[in-house]
A = this chain, B = another copy of it.
Amino acid sequence: MLSKNRLKLIRKLYQKKFRQENNLFVAEGEKVVYELLDSGWKVYEIYTTNPLQNIPHTLVDRSELKKISNLTSVTTIIGVFHLPKYQFSYVNNGFSIALDSIGDPGNLGTIIRLCDWFGIQNLFCSPNTVDCFNPKVVQSTMGSISRVQCHYVDLFTLIDKCQTEVYATTLDGNSVYKESFPTDGLLLMGSESHGINDELLAKIKNRITIPAHSRNRGAESLNVATATAILLSEIFRSRVY
* A interface residue numbers (CB < 8 A to B): 35, 94, 106, 110, 113-114, 116-120, 140, 142-144, 146-147, 175, 177-178, 210-219, 221-223, 225-230, 233-234, 236-237, 239-241
Contact = CB atoms under 8 A, between A and B. Distances in A.
17 contacts: A113-B219, A113-B222, A116-B219, A118-B215, A118-B216, A119-B214, A119-B216, A142-B221, A147-B219, A177-B241, A212-B240, A213-B236, A213-B240, A214-B239, A226-B229, A233-B233, A233-B234
Contacts of A228: 226
Contacts of A118: 212-213, 215-216
A160 to B, nearest CB: 27
A234 to B, nearest CB: 7
A116 B217 CA distance: 7
Most chain B C-beta atoms within 10 Å of own C-beta, residue among A110, A147, A212, A240: A240
